[in-house]
Amino acid sequence: MKNIIQMVVVLTVLSGSSAGILAGIRVVTMEKIEYQQLKFQKEPAVRKIMEGSGMDPMAGRFKIDYQGRKLTIFPGEIDGEPMAAFETFGKGYSGDVGVMVGLSLSSGRIIGMGVTTHSETPGIGSKVKDSPTFVDQFKGEPVESGFKVRNDGGGVDAISGATITSRAVCVAVDEAGKVYGELKEQLLPTKIAAKDGSHE
């Protein structure tokens, strides 16, 4: 009996202090990690989506509230048509898969997207980021159309061997659709909205 109590106490104290220490380190490093992800993950994805944009999406980025958390919006514009890119997440095989979705704000269609952060299996799930053919399927589709992989009765071809990862991307895009549906007005960068109010 004494043994069991000792074991429980030791394990509890150990796990508790471990959680405490890690939470502390997370708080200290969070801001730096966010900056690094912005620089090395989000910026390349946004730049690719917004190629030819008349305004700098990085310089013009702003935050809006969405379901209690801050969502960073990267605005852009091609030929006077306003666009916005932002990152949403879906549950992948191991952890969240982040997807940067770029939309045309006048038509609600996807103009480009790219996977940002993920921790999927190298060589299998990681193809979702490395091979452009998968994400290219979404290009030009209305963002609110509700995406599903073929296994689930939808129209998206999953990456073979990585159905869960492919599903995560669909979930993330649907999330982006929800953001678009609910917060359309807020996605419009104030500068463009002021210059040309006819879009909404």
Partner 1 sequence: MSKSIAREFAKGLWSEIPPFRLVLGLCPVLAVTMSVENGIGMGLATTFVLVGSNFLVSLLRNVIPPKIRIACFIIIIATFVTMVEFIMQAYVYPLYLKLGIFIPLIVVNCVVLGRAEAFACKNPILPSLADGLGMGLGFTLSLSLIGAFREVLGNGTFLGLQVFGDAFVPFGVMVKAPGAFVTLGLLLAFMNLVPVKK
Give the interface with partner 1 as residue ranges (CB under 8 A): 3, 6-7, 10-11, 14-15, 18, 21-22, 25-26, 29, 32-33, 36-37, 39-40, 94, 119, 121-122
For the CB of residue 164, give the shortest distance to partner 1 in the complex, in Å: 15
Nearest residue (CB) to partner 1, 21 versus 191: 21
Compute the distance between CA of residue 93 and CA of residue 33 in angstroms, rounded to an integer: 22
Nearest residue (CB) to partner 1, 8 versus 151: 8
For the CB of residue 171, give the shortest distance to partner 1 in the complex, in Å: 21
Instruction: Find the DSSP H helices in the chain.
Output: 2-37, 43-49, 127-130, 132-136, 163-187, 190-195
Compute the distance between CA of residue 93 and CA of residue 166 in angstroms, rounded to an integer: 10
Q: Tell which residue, 152, 111, 105, has the closest CA to residue 135.
A: 111
Helix, strand or coil, per DSSP, at residue 147: coil
Rounded to 5 degrees, what are φ and ψ at 102? -105, 130
Nearest residue (CB) to partner 1, 33 versus 136: 33
For the CB of residue 89, give the shortest distance to partner 1 in the complex, in Å: 17
For the CB of residue 5, give the shortest distance to partner 1 in the complex, in Å: 10
Nearest residue (CB) to partner 1, 115 versus 187: 115
